[in-house]
Amino acid sequence: MRILLGVGAGIAAYKSALLLRLLTESGHEVRVVPTRASLAFVGTATWEALSGRPVTTDVFQNVPEVEHVRLGKEADLVVVAPATADLLARAATGRADDLLTAALLTARCPVLLAPAMHTEMWEHPATRANVATLRSRGVHVLDPAVGRLTGADSGAGRLPEPEEIAEAALALVGTPLRQDLAGRRVVVSAGGTREPLDPVRFLGNRSTGRQGYALASAAAARGAEVTLVAANVSLPDPAGVAVVPVETTAELRAAVREHAAAADVVVMAAAVADYRPATTASSKLKKDGDGGLTLELVQNPDVLAELAQDRLRPGQVVVGFAAETGDASGSVLEHGRAKALRKGADLLVVNAVGAGRGFGEVENEVVVLDREGTDVVRSGGTKEHVAHAVWDAIRTRLV
């Protein structure tokens, strides 16, 4: 497929180098058309080297080829990242004052714009109106991500991660991003189990399921057949993923093991309760006098350790997560390494939680360890970005 990648003059232009890589590695022919001002951030040499094609910014180069018409007409997909406030304005008003805007006017294929700018510029009525105009004409304008901006400030206006832009753009033409998990069956568990005390109360945890859902979506986008065992998650079902809802650890264990029997990969991203009440009352527990209440808890099976031990399918890759806070007896990573050795999983994804980190947060930071506790990969960023990095590590272990 022929993709035209437009690059606007924003600091996030460097992320488009990764976007270009993703698109070319997915087997597409990409022609980069930067705006002249964007070259102050990333220069022509980078785009030419990465795309393997010449790069021009204005309509007066390669005149005999009438590039400003040809580029747009020949493209099967146009992606612009970052789309600055100025570029959105020029596109919305139909200007054709450089090669990129001219190509936008001649393109008849799907067009995706990924805006990036400061929050004030994104929220300005002029920008809002330009975005509304473009969307009303069928142009796909992504919402920018929320997070750290160029300076010390943060808010809406960040360029989404290259993987998300590539996925969203390729979805417009019905071609998924990478297909390196095609033909693979994977099971992902997500969320947090709940152990009922009585019909209205339970022991649970703060897991939102976001990282597990991001892992399931990323695997599906890369071609895998995905079963997502979801423990008490209130997120929308990811596209193309079979979701099996569960509540307790016993239910999660049964569902994971059932589907793991035919799976190439099992990723245990769920926060599984280590203990459950010894008994569950069939009617609501009543206060009994003024004293306290002592609960008797019994240990749940360790689903991950069992999977690592049993190896339900030959060659299966078993992946665990370790959410750690660190304490007096060891750092996050020290606890992670000890857990990697203890659990016997092929890979263990360690992340720091607590004090506003980990649970439900937009960003995540992880270290992937192998069975001996050695670093395989470090990744940080959105949970989608982390999910792809984890799959990159898993893929190298698939036989």
d(CA 266, CA 257): 9
Q: Is 232 in the site for ligand CTP (CB under 6 A)?
A: no
Is the bond into 115 cis (omega within 30 degrees of 0)? no
Candidates 15-23, 118-126, 300-308, 355-363: pick the segment binding ligand CTP (CB under 6 A). Answer: 300-308
Find the shortest distance in angstroms from Cβ 12 to ligand CTP: 34
Candidates 124-132, 180-188, 296-304, 364-372: pick the segment binding ligand CTP (CB under 6 A). Answer: 296-304
Among 303, 332, 353, 394, binds ligand CTP (CB under 6 A): 303
Question: Is 59 or 272 the residue whose CB approaches ligand CTP more closely?
Answer: 272
Length of the chain: 399
Q: Is 170 in the site for ligand CTP (CB under 6 A)?
A: no
For the record, the structure tokens of 35 come out as: 């705006």
Question: Is 212 or 238 the residue whose CB approaches ligand CTP more closely?
Answer: 212
Q: List Cβ neighbours of 185 (8 Å cut-off, separation of 6 or more).
A: 224, 225, 227, 262, 263, 264, 265
Question: Is 51 or 227 the residue whose CB approaches ligand CTP more closely?
Answer: 227
Find the shortest distance in angstroms from Cβ 221 to ligand CTP: 22
d(CA 109, CA 130): 20
d(CA 321, CA 334): 14
Find the shortest distance in angstroms from Cβ 349 to ligand CTP: 8
Give the strands of the sheet with 29-34, arranged side by side: 29-34, 2-7, 77-83, 111-115, 140-141
Find the shortest distance in angstroms from Cβ 324 to ligand CTP: 7
Question: Is 29 or 334 the residue whose CB approaches ligand CTP more closely?
Answer: 334
Question: Is 127 or 189 the residue whose CB approaches ligand CTP more closely?
Answer: 189
Say if residues 265 and 187 touch (Cβ distance below 8 Å): yes
Find the shortest distance in angstroms from Cβ 266 to ligand CTP: 10
d(CA 191, CA 271): 6
The catalytically annotated residue of 205, 300, 351, 364 is: 205
Find the shortest distance in angstroms from Cβ 323 to ligand CTP: 5
Among 161, 163, 225, 302, binds ligand CTP (CB under 6 A): 302
Q: Is 304 in the site for ligand CTP (CB under 6 A)?
A: yes
- Considering Cα of 240, then 245, then 248, then 250, what sign does the dihedral take? negative
Q: Is 208 in the site for ligand CTP (CB under 6 A)?
A: no
d(CA 161, CA 382): 7
- Residues forming beta bridges with residue 299, ordered by sequence position: 275
Question: Is 110 or 336 the residue whose CB approaches ligand CTP more closely?
Answer: 336
Buried (b) or exposed (e) across 107-146, using 16+ Cβ within 10 A? bebbbbbbbbbbbebbeeeebeebbebbeeeebbbbebbe
Pairing of strands 241-246, 225-231: parallel
Find the shortest distance in angstroms from Cβ 347 to ligand CTP: 10
Span 312-331, contacts to ligand CTP by CB under 6 A: 320-323
Other beta carbons within 10 angstroms of residue 316's beta carbon come to 22
205 is catalytic: yes
Query: Binding marks (x or -) toward ligand CTP, 247..286, rule CB under 6 A?
Result: ---------------------x-x-x-x------------
Number of residues that bind ligand CTP (CB under 6 A): 12
d(CA 103, CA 107): 6
Question: Is 23 or 270 the residue whose CB approaches ligand CTP more closely?
Answer: 270
Q: Is 300 in the site for ligand CTP (CB under 6 A)?
A: yes
**Catalytic residue ranges:** 205
By the criterion CB under 6 A, which residues form the site for ligand CTP? 268, 270, 272, 274, 300, 302-304, 320-323
